Amino acid sequence: MRASRFPFFSPKRRPTEALNLLKRCDPLKRVQSCNYTKSSGYSNGKTHIQPVMPVETKASRSWGVYVIPAAILGFAGLAAFVHYNDERRAILKGQGNKNGGNTIKRPTIGGPFTLIDTENRIVTEQNFDGKWVLLYFGYTSSPDIGPEQVKVMAKAIDILESKRDSKILPVFVTIDPQRDTSSQLCAYLKEFDSRIVGLTGPVSAIRQVTQEYRVFFKKVDEDGDDYLVDSSHNMYLMNPKMEVVRCFGVEYNAEELSEAIMKELRSTLT
């Protein structure tokens, strides 16, 4: 018998050769094939077909390995950028856009609060309307920075009243309400200046006011009921509308603090 001129199309080799051709043409795509096996029915002209599940190539598996971590890193970077941009645009309450152009709403420092004074009376921000207020966030168990800041605040108030004839109300808000009760605050502040108004309250109320004024604090070195509080030691100058017009750090001494406050008072008269 004459041999076939096209062995590729031989009935026995056709399935295998066709499958190899598909793999060479597109190695990156999934290949679906059927496996042809001999059985007892093959001699009778019948063929049993066993389907094979789709085969996923190595290239398609490696694609997910790189894309998923990249997507997670991209989302984390976007969240960090939004948070940084929000903090960078934060302004003091009452210091908006003064150029008369289009006003852009920005996060502000300051807001309403409801606390308790040393006489167990409820005090809100409305109790200070019409007064200039020097507001400090601290706690009575502070071993060093806290007492020093209260001294600076008290001395600055003395300078402003005696030399500048300007009255500023000093207010101390605790960031440790679990230990700083009304009676504890009263005894502590009398050691510095009886004019200082002490405020405390429930933990939830202190957490709210510190969030409004962007005050950082955290318990550290805890040993049972004894612990320290790491804090930003913020001190704010509030105008008679209870708007924050200036923020002071621990680098100010009493003379520098009184001079900076006086400068803000003069600016409101011009």
Tell me the pLDDT tens digit for each residue of 202-239. Answer: 999 999 999 999 998 888 887 877 898 888 888 999 99
- Evaluate if residue 137 carries a pLDDT over 50: yes
Task: Name the nearest CA neighbour of 262 among 139, 134, 130, 128.
Answer: 134
pLDDT, mean of residues 105-110: 67
Rg (CA), the chain: 38
Choice between 81 and 210, residue whose per-residue pLDDT is larger: 210
User: Would you place residue 69 in the very low, low, confident or very high pLDDT band (cuts 50, 70, 90)?
Assistant: low
Lowest model confidence (mean pLDDT) among 93-97, 200-204, 249-253: 93-97
Strand bridging mode 226-231 / 197-200: unpaired
pLDDT, mean of residues 102-126: 82
User: Would you place residue 68 in the very low, low, confident or very high pLDDT band (cuts 50, 70, 90)?
Assistant: low
User: Would you place residue 257 in the very low, low, confident or very high pLDDT band (cuts 50, 70, 90)?
Assistant: very high
CB atoms within 10 A of CB 240: 12
Task: Name the nearest CA neighbour of 141 among 95, 188, 211.
Answer: 188
User: C-alpha 102: how far from its chain's center?
Assistant: 28
| Structural domain spans, the chain | 7-55, 59-89, 108-269
- Evaluate if residue 42 carries a pLDDT over 70: no
Lowest model confidence (mean pLDDT) among 36-40, 150-154, 259-263: 36-40
Average pLDDT, the chain: 75
Residue type, 25: C
Burial per residue of 30-61, b for 16 or more beta-carbon CB atoms within 10 angstroms, e otherwise: eeeeeeeeeeeeeeeeeeeeeeeeeeeeeeee
pLDDT, mean of residues 36-55: 45
Burial-class residue 153 by CB neighbours within 10 Å (0-12, 13-18, 19+): buried
pLDDT, mean of residues 130-153: 94
User: Looking at the domain that runs over 108-269, which CATH code has it been given?
Assistant: 3.40.30.10
3-state secondary structure the chain: CCCCCCHHHCCCCHHHHHHHHHHHHCCCCCECCEEEECCCCHHHCCCEEEECCCECCHHHHHHHHHHHHHHHHHHHHHHHHHHHHHHHCCEECCCCCCCCCCCCCCCEECCCCEEEECCCCEEEHHHHCCCCEEEEEECCCCCCHHHHHHHHHHHHHHHHHHCCCCCCEEEEEECCCCCCCHHHHHHHHHCCCCCCEEEECCHHHHHHHHHHCCCCEEEEEEECCEEEEEECCCEEEECCCCCEEEEECCCCCHHHHHHHHHHHHHHHHC
